[in-house]
Amino acid sequence: MFSALRLVRSVRPETIKYCARVFSAEAVGSKEYFDKLVANSKVVVFMKGTPDAPRCGFSNAVVQILRMHGVEYDAHNVLANEDVRQGIKEYSEWPTIPQVFMSGEFVGGCDILLQMHQNGELIEELQKVGITSALLEAEKSKGDEK
Partner 1 sequence: MIKSSVRSLYRIYCRATQPALAPVQNLQRVIQLCAMSSGGTVEAAIKSKIESSLNPSYLHIINESYMHNVPKGSETHFKVVVVSEAFNDLPLIKRHRLVNATLSEELGSGVHALSIVAKTPSQWSESSQEIESSPACRGGFGK
Which residue lies nearer to partner 1 by CB, 74 or 125? 125
Shorter beta-carbon distance to partner 1: residue 35 or 94: 94
Cα–Cα dist 41/125, whole Å: 15
Is the backbone peptide bond immediately before 51 cis, with ω within 30 degrees of 0?
no
Determine, following the binding rule CB under 8 A, whether residue 144 of this chain makes contact with partner 1. no
What three-state secondary structure class fits 140? Answer: helix
Number of neighbouring beta carbons within 10 Å of residue 31: 12
Q: Does 54 bind partner 1 (CB under 8 A)?
A: yes
Size (the chain), residues: 146
50 binds partner 1 (CB under 8 A): no
Rounded-to-integer distance, Cα 121 and Cα 108, Å: 13
Shortest Å distance, C-beta 68 to partner 1: 14
Tell me the number of residues near partner 1 by CB under 8 A. 24
Task: Say whether residue 94 binds partner 1 (CB under 8 A).
Answer: yes
- Asked if 143 interacts with partner 1 (CB under 8 A), we say no
Q: Can you tell me whether residue 101 is helix, strand or coil?
A: strand
Contact pick of 23, 115, 127, 128 for partner 1 (by CB under 8 A): 115
